[in-house]
Structure 1
Amino acid sequence: MNIQLITLIALVVAIFIGFKRKVNTGLVGIAFAYVVGYYIAGMSAKEIYVSGFPTKLFIILLGMTLLFSIAKVNGTLELIARKVSAMAGGNTKLLPIFFFIMCTVIAAAGPGPIVVPALMLPIAMEVAKEEDISDLLMATIVIAGSLAGGLSPLSPSGIIASNLAAEAGVTNYTPIFISVILTSTLQAIVFYFAFGGHKLKGRATKEKATIQFNKEQLQTVVVILLVIVAILIFKQDIGMTAFLGAAVLLLLSPKVQKDAIANVPWPTLLLIAGVAILVNVVKVSGGIDALSTFLAGIMSKQTAPAIMAIMGGLMSSVSSASGVVMPTLIPTVNGIVEQMGGTITASSLISGIVVGAHVVTYSPLSTLGALAMASSTDRVDKEKFFAKLLALGFGSILFAALLGFIGLYR
């Protein structure tokens, strides 16, 4: 048995053990990463945790969860949730649709598919708790909306995709963007019905609409809005800006510090970081490359967009869609088109790559899924939620592949 297969099996077994034994999968992942990485793959202990620890993602998650933990402790988040709920006029069925549209529009305007969920998921998940909406429904709807608009030519991810496409000779980016919009919208529709959005019942909103914020809560709202403006308008770092906002709020009201820090979802952060360390061992050992090579060997003109979506999704599950997957795979499309005698277009292959690289982000191993985990309320069983998001993430790769196979990306 080669090392690539061993590491892939280790990843699957670690996730299964954590879920089955109800032990934090992050702890199991770190243990497996050390055993497999050090004793089998020949990695040093330092290489395992330094290169594998998701520092940027961890800072984003910790900063945002601390900021919104303060808002939760002082009651601000609950009141915001009630105000947002009141906007539906008592028709709870409209709330997921409202969040989908709002996230799509905001993401398309420039922030992209990472910033919007970081800002909206904590509020959306609190709304879900307040209105008794499925946490899985609200999380997937927010992510779907953020992806639908997040690949616009105005957003960072869209700019990267369109520039890489232009370098590959595809100057018309519109079909690629439309492929992303259609895929995410179709997924949102499926999620809406699959997770009970159509069964939601209206609730009274009169009391919610008249609720007023106190001084401390108003300060919290102002600071959160300033953080949002700094991130969206002035392109400041998400995690560090969130830490700055949290520090200001704690200076204004030191009494909430203990409870705010205690309410940070530390088990979730450990789970995400631990699994990421193990995934990095799989990546360094060549496990992901082995899977991609296998898929490339079974490609035909009918399956090419689907295979590219699968390759993009698998690579993106362990690396950055914008920083690694698209820059790696998009430059290969002209060679593939040439090998296939021009029977497939570069645009359809690029659409498959871009869509596949982003739909996997429902997985808690990816940024948006991790944000959903971190934003989930205390009523959520974290291990089960992790497993469901993981299944949705990799199921979404198959969904994207199916759309590519039936010709949507062409």
Structure 2
Amino acid sequence: MSEQLMSILALLAIFLIGTLRAVNLGALALVASFAVGAGALGMDASEVLAGFPAELFMILVGVTYLFAIARNNGTVEWLVHAAVRIVGGKVAAIPWVMFTISCVLVSLGAVSPAAVAIIAPIGMTFAARYGINPLLMGLMVVHGSAAGNFSPIGVLGVVTNGVVDTSGIAGSPMVLFLANLIFNVLLGAGIFFGFGGRHLLSTGREATDDSAGGEDTDAYKPHRTASGPSTAVATAPARTDTGTLSLNRDRIVTLGSMVALVIGALGFDLDVGLMSLSAAVLLTLLAPDTAKDAVGQINWSVVLLVCGIVTYVALMQEIGTVDYLGNAISEVDAPLLAALLICYIGAIVSAFASTTGILGALIPLAVPLLATGQVSAIGLVTALSISASVVDSSPFSTNGAMVVANAPKEQQSMVYRQLMKWGFGLVLAAPLICWAALTVLAGW
């Protein structure tokens, strides 16, 4: 048995055991990395752990740590209050605001995980405060960022178009950008109406301000309508004599840290995780009382799960499993079928690993298919790019993991399970839809 086939069987075993037994998939994946890498392939520990996603680990820990402090000291409550006023109190508009902000950030050059790391904690707080389904909010943030992925000035767009040029393949940056944007906007509409948006429109239109003054508290209470139970209409936090939730020193410093996080990520390409951790430590030193429980609010089981799976997939890439699959597909006699299979490989692997890395590996593998003249170059590149990027809502990707980590603790298991269903549903459906629309039906 080849080492590539062995690694695929081991991955299937990880998910089978994790499904049948209550064992953290990340822990299983790390054990499998050791068993396959050290036991079967003779690697040493440093080689086995070379693919451990240190940057992803820092993002998960640093961002959730910072926003735990921000929740404790009331900064997130202040942001919620301000944002609700901006949208005129329309609770149903909030998911689309999060979608649009994420899309714009990524379109202007932010890497998708950085944008999601910044927006997801705020969006999930909105969900908790205003009775919005956390799955709806999380998916709107993730697919908003995905909608901007292939902007001609975006990171993934620049990388993908560069690989296309280097490979000598005909490409169209504008077709790539617009097709991906339309696909994710349509997904966003489906998500909105499929996961509670209709209810928000019909019964939860207003987040009202209490015009009376009061103490500076962070209490949010749902209204009850005459027709029955509480709805998604929520009151804003009680206001001070100045008419707004007050900004004390801790909140000002926290807001400044968040602004610095955005500027550092977008303007200077600084590491989001390390910046977040630095801000969290600063806030802990300034106000230890509001930060003392923040470390405990980091969901370490999510961190272990995601980092373990990504480590194992990195090992599979290192031993050539992706190339092994790609080369096997390139030998398929029917070019259109081979194109569909390449799209599926991109979706499956990208659900666990770097989208950029997968596209960089698979686009050159498509060259022999395109040489036959039976497959549209623009269509296949676009279909492959969308298939590989839209599955970032998987809880094993950075974006999906950020959604799970920032969901309310009592709902994290539900969000994780639903994201897994959604992510793997996209793995099955997105390649087929994109392949049919862009390579079979399109006339490029």
Fold in common (TM above 0.5): yes
Gap regions ≥5 residues in structure 2: 211-235
Which residue is equivalent to 1:39?
A: 39
Q: Percent identity?
A: 29
RMSD: 2.5
Q: Are the counterparts in 2 of residues 67 and 245 from structure 1 also a CA contact under 8 Å?
A: yes
Read off the aligned partner of 1:326 and give its amino acid letter: L
Which residue is equivalent to 1:373?
A: 404
Aligned match of 2:290 in 256, 259, 279?
Answer: 256
Moved more, 293-302 or 324-333: 293-302
Q: Using the alignment, how far apart are the partners of 1:92 and 1:118 within structure 2?
A: 22
Which residue is equivalent to 1:62?
A: 61
1:331 to 2:360 alignment: no
Secondary structure of the 1:259 match is coil
Q: Are the counterparts in 2 of residues 369 and 389 from structure 1 also a CA contact under 8 Å?
A: yes
Which residue is equivalent to 2:415?
A: 385
Q: Are the counterparts in 2 of residues 15 and 29 from structure 1 also a CA contact under 8 Å?
A: no
Q: Which has the higher helix share?
A: 1
Offset at 1:229? 1.6
1:397 to 2:427 alignment: yes
TM-score between the two structures when normalised by the length of structure 2 = 0.83
1:188 to 2:188 alignment: yes
Which residue is equivalent to 1:355?
A: 386
Moved more, 130-139 or 78-87: 78-87
Q: Using the alignment, how far apart are the partners of 1:68 and 1:299 within structure 2?
A: 52
Higher relative contact order (CA 8 A, sep 6+): 1
Q: Using the alignment, how far apart are the partners of 1:299 and 1:380 within structure 2?
A: 48
Q: Using the alignment, how far apart are the partners of 2:266 and 2:389 within structure 1?
A: 21
Q: Using the alignment, how far apart are the partners of 1:290 and 1:98 within structure 2?
A: 42
Q: Using the alignment, how far apart are the partners of 2:142 and 2:374 within structure 1?
A: 34
Which residue is equivalent to 2:216?
A: none
Aligned match of 1:312 in 331, 346, 349?
Answer: 346
Which residue is equivalent to 1:206?
A: 209
Secondary structure of the 1:115 match is helix
Equivalent residue runs for 1:107-256 within 5 Å: 107-167=106-166, 168-170=168-170, 172-200=172-200, 201-202=203-204, 203-207=206-210, 208=236, 210=239, 211-215=244-248, 216-256=250-290
Gap regions ≥5 residues in structure 1: none
Read off the aligned partner of 1:368 and give its amino acid letter: N
- Residues 349-391 of structure 1: CA deviation (Å, up to 9, x unaligned): 2112211221121112222112222222223233x43333233
Offset at 1:289? 4.2
Read off the aligned partner of 1:198 and give its amino acid letter: R
Q: 1:166 to 1:31 in 2, by over 3 A?
A: closer
- The count of aligned residue pairs is 405
Q: 1:175 to 1:251 in 2, by over 3 A?
A: same
Q: Using the alignment, how far apart are the partners of 1:72 and 1:32 within structure 2?
A: 37
Which residue is equivalent to 2:23?
A: 23
Which residue is equivalent to 1:364?
A: 395
Offset at 1:82? 3.7
Q: Using the alignment, how far apart are the partners of 2:281 and 2:112 within structure 1?
A: 26
Offset at 1:225? 1.3
Moved more, 285-294 or 390-399: 285-294
Offset at 1:78? 3.0
Q: Are the counterparts in 2 of residues 308 and 356 from structure 1 also a CA contact under 8 Å?
A: no
Secondary structure of the 1:152 match is coil
- Residues 260-316 of structure 1: CA deviation (Å, up to 9, x unaligned): 222122221112122223333444455444444454444734445533322222332
TM-score between the two structures when normalised by the length of structure 1 = 0.89
Based on CA coordinates, which of the two structures has the bigger radius of gyration?
2
Q: Are the counterparts in 2 of residues 313 and 360 from structure 1 also a CA contact under 8 Å?
A: yes
